[in-house]
Structure 1
Amino acid sequence: MKLAFIGIGNVGFALANRLQNAGHDVVIAANEITDSVQKAVDNNPQLSVMEIQNAINYAEVVFLATPFSANQEILKNVHFAGKTLIDCTNPVGPGITHGLQSEISGGEKVQQWAPTAQVVKAFTIYGFENFANSTYSNYNVKPVMLLAGNDKTAKQKVTELCTDLGFEAFDTGNIDQALHLEHLTLLWVKMVRRDKHHPNFVWAKLEK
């Protein structure tokens, strides 16, 4: 699959690197060579760089892995023409609170800012450590990846990528469910980044 990454920091690179190694055609969407872009290319020379709109035009699926505060400015000048946009971002406010006061999800805001995209919230409920390595070999279940979005076809594409990354995808519903996924992210982040729990833990889906 042809994939483009807007944002190539810890989360973006962990996902891009593994998906490129899994056989996907991955490009970094950037209008200039920033330190993070150069670091990503240095660490995986198979990653190429295109200007943002050109990368979107090239890709089948686009990942948004920027700081949430940058999203509106980035998205206002680009067009997706119905393509899948995976929102990997989280609106984190002071004290690790929800940055939109839980009145609306960041995923819904991304859908508003990118109205020509089919937005799917995914790859947000853990830190980058579990995107770089999702293997838990002592268990006979895969880590779950919860996702939300309004378009079934877009969510199927994301499900395929989840599988390639070693996750079991679970569709939680429409994009308004992103609010609850963002709170689950805050739980993980508070446990790990604030309270110093080790990052090597995940959620799993058990169903009768």
Structure 2
Amino acid sequence: MNIAFIGVGNVGAPLADRLQKLGHNVSIAARDPNSPSIRDVMTRNADLIVQSPPEAIASAEVVFLAVPFAAIEPALTSLGAALDGKVLVDCTNPVGANLSHGLESKISGSEKVQELVPNARVVKAFTIYGFENFEDSFYPGYGDIKPAMLIAGNDLAAKETVAELCRQLGWEPVDTGNLSMSLHLEHLTLLWIKMARVQGRGSGFVWAMLQRG
């Protein structure tokens, strides 16, 4: 699959690296190919492809958005209609002061993303944990139980595409419903951050989905 990344910081870099090593063609959309984040991700994996944003997006079937939430508007509006019809995986979180919801819980960040690119097929995913779990999603000692990756989106086919990528990366995808459910996933991210970073539990924990047949 052809995959492009907008943003290769703490979240984007491990996902891009692992997806490329799984056999996908992964491109990094870079306005400045010599930026520190681009140099760092290429040091991690020299088989990643660095292209201008229009080039990277044009050939991609799936695009990961993994920039700080404050940067989504310039990142997306500059691409215009290039994202029309693309599966856009929103990995961002609107985090406000004192680990509050950055949009005052009135609307999800993913719905804001959809407003900026109304013809993209937005799916919320890879947001409910810290980046450490995107580096390594393997939790031994639980039999066949895999860590859950909660996703949300309005387009069923787009969600299935993202769900398959989740499976390949070692997650059990859990479809939580339409894109408005992203608000609850963003609150789940805040819960994880408060437990892991503030309370000192550490990053080595995830959620799982247990369901009776």
Shorter-chain TM-score range: over 0.9
Counterpart for residue 122 of structure 2: 119
Task: State the Cα distance separating 1:31 from its structure 2 match.
Answer: 1.2
Write the distance in 2 (CA, Å) between the matches of 1:156 and 1:93. 31
The RMSD of aligned alpha carbons is 0.8
SS of residue matched to 2:27: strand
> TM-score, normalized by length of structure 1?
0.98
Q: What is the correspondence of 1:82-101 to structure 2 with a 5 Å cutoff? A: 82-101=85-104
Task: State the Cα distance separating 1:165 from its structure 2 match.
Answer: 0.3
1:116-141 per-position Cα deviation (integer Å, ceiling 9, x unaligned): 21000000000111111000111020
Contact 2:27 2:48 in 1 (8 A): yes
- Bigger mean CA deviation after superposition, 85-94 or 35-44: 35-44
Counterpart for residue 198 of structure 2: 194
Task: State the Cα distance separating 1:194 from its structure 2 match.
Answer: 2.0
Write the distance in 2 (CA, Å) between the matches of 1:76 and 1:200. 36
User: 2:32 corresponds to which letter in structure 1?
Assistant: E
Write the distance in 1 (CA, Å) between the matches of 2:152 and 2:57. 21
Structure 2: gaps (5+ residues): none
Structure 1 segments of 4+ aligned residues over 4 angstroms from their partners? none
User: 1:136 corresponds to which letter in structure 2?
Assistant: Y
Write the distance in 2 (CA, Å) between the matches of 1:143 and 1:48. 29
SS of residue matched to 2:128: coil
Structure 1: gaps (5+ residues): none
Task: State the Cα distance separating 1:195 from its structure 2 match.
Answer: 2.2
Write the distance in 2 (CA, Å) between the matches of 1:195 and 1:95. 14
Q: What is the correspondence of 1:41-80 to structure 2 with a 5 Å cutoff? A: 41-78=42-79, 79-80=82-83
Q: What is the correspondence of 1:125-140 to structure 2 with a 5 Å cutoff? A: 125-140=128-143
Write the distance in 1 (CA, Å) between the matches of 2:207 and 2:151. 13
Identical aligned pairs, as a percentage?
55
Counterpart for residue 152 of structure 1: 156
> TM-score, normalized by length of structure 2?
0.96
Task: State the Cα distance separating 1:15 from its structure 2 match.
Answer: 0.6
Write the distance in 2 (CA, Å) between the matches of 1:156 and 1:122. 12
Task: State the Cα distance separating 1:54 from its structure 2 match.
Answer: 1.4
SS of residue matched to 1:10: coil
User: 2:196 corresponds to which letter in structure 1?
Assistant: V
